[in-house]
Structures are given as C-alpha cells and as structure tokens.
C-alpha cells in the first residue's frame, strides 16, 4: 500500500491541472452543453484508466455518467458526485481558478470539482497499487444535483440498491468535520392573482399582485427559526407587465 501515497504525491501537479480544466468551464445546472463538457472530460479520463464507463443521456439536463472498477473480493461501494454548479454563464471567464496562498479559488472548486477528482484519484491509486479486495466500486456522476436531481435521481437510486455503503464526495465543513447528514428541502411556487387597472387613471379598480406578494414574502421569511434547523429562503420573483398598469400577477 506504500504505492498509494507515492502515486498521490507524484500526481499532485497533474490533479491541480485537472482541477483547473474542470473549474474553468461554465456548467451551471441549466447549461446542458457545459455540464456535458465536464462529463465527457471525466468519462474520457475514466476510460483511459480502464474503468467501465457508461453514459446516461437526459433530455432536459446534462448527461449522467458512471465509472465502475471491479475487484475480486467482497463489498460493493457507491461513490457519488455532481457535475453541475450554481454559477451563471460567464463566471469562469471573469474569475477563473486561481491560487491565493494555500487556498484555491474558483467556481466549483469545492462544490464539487475537487470532490470528483479526489474520488477519481483515490480509486486510481488503489488500481495502481493492485488493491482488489472488493467486489465493485461504482462512481456515479449526476448532472443536476443543484436543482434537486430531478433527472438523475431515478438513475442513481436504482444503482444504490444492493450497495454496502454510499459516499457522497462533497466538501467537509470549514473546520474539517465530515458531513454525515443533510436536511431535506422543498421548492414551492406561489402565484398571486390580482386585477389589472390603469395605475394613473383608475388605480382603485385594480388589485396589486406584487404588493400582496411582498406581504406573503415577509410572512414566509418570518418562518425562519420556527423550529430548529428550519430555514425559508424566498428567491426568484417576478411580476407585472408595464409601469403604468396595476400588476395582475406576481
């Protein structure tokens, strides 16, 4: 097993180069081409390392990928990581990956291009060392995690069944603590219907949907802290048509 740290030490510079290659790609969840570019890069690298690679096309999101390493022992392990980020198009051009002292800064360095590469290089080190005391290690790369995995969930749930353990390679807490659980989340769309009217001539005949939405947003925001760990985040809003019309929808 001495070959494992030797390989990782020797691969340090290459890993950092690989990290830059992945970070400096715009791959927000809705950027299918960018997510696919990252997935294709990873798929090609895994194939070059003689892993069994499979691609799972998705219509509305980037494609998912898996890479499998077979052993001759017992135990099946699932590793998971996601290809997408939360950053809008153009982010990688305005602030590409850079070094600030001991820190590496860039869109998706921690969440989670670094996690993908750490997992890949860990498996590669076992392969280089000839370690095969497992039945199967499957690395699944999903493409829409930042949206709640609407397209990839059926794919990875099916593969998680029968595994002895599953590890998601997101980053640890700032103090180094391992994250062993995450709270769930839900997404809700609130539509307000008002009544349109001319804002200057007859505003009294209208009902302003944006004003009502503002009241509802404040009420929802007041739910923060209602119970331990409960957080509510009003996010994307819209409403109205033109400035001289009472908004009928928001």
Q: How far apart, in Å, are the Cα atoms of 61 and each of 29, 30, 36, 68, 158?
A: 7, 6, 9, 23, 19
| 145 part of the active site | yes
Known active-site residue 84: yes
Distances in whole angstroms, Cα of residue 51 to Cα of each of 18, 69, 224, 242: 18, 6, 46, 57
Residue of 18, 26, 84, 144 marked catalytic: 84
- Considering 18, 136, 144, 145, which one is annotated as catalytic? 145
What's the length of the chain? 250
Tokens of 246: 């009472």
By annotation, the residues acting in catalysis are 84, 145
């Amino acid at each position: 097993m001495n070959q494992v740290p030797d390989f990782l030490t020797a691969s340090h510079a290459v890993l950092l180069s690989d990290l830059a290659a992945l970070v400096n790609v715009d791959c927000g969840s809705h950027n299918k081409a960018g997510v696919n570019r990252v997935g294709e890069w990873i798929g090609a690298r895994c194939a070059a390392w003689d892993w069994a690679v499979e691609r799972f096309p998705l219509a509305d999101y980037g494609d998912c990928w898996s890479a499998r390493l077979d052993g001759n022992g017992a135990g099946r392990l699932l590793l998971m990581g996601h290809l997408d980020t939360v950053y809008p198009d153009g982010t990688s051009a305005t602030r590409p990956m850079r070094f600030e002292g001991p820190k590496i800064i860039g869109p998706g360095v921690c969440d989670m291009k670094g996690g993908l590469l750490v997992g890949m290089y860990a498996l590669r080190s076992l392969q280089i060392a000839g370690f095969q005391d497992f039945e199967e290690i499957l690395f699944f790369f999903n493409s829409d995690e930042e949206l709640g995995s609407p397209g990839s969930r059926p794919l990875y749930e099916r593969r998680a069944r029968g595994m002895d353990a599953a590890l998601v390679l997101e980053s640890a807490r700032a103090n180094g603590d391992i994250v062993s659980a995450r709270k769930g989340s839900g997404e809700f769309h609130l539509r307000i219907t008002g009544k349109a009217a001319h804002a200057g001539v007859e505003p009294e005949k209208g009902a302003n949907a944006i004003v009502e939405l503002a009241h509802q947003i404040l009420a929802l925001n007041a739910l923060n802290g209602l119970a331990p760990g409960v957080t509510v985040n009003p996010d994307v809003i819209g409403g109205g048509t033109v400035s001289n019309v009472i908004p009928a929808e928001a």
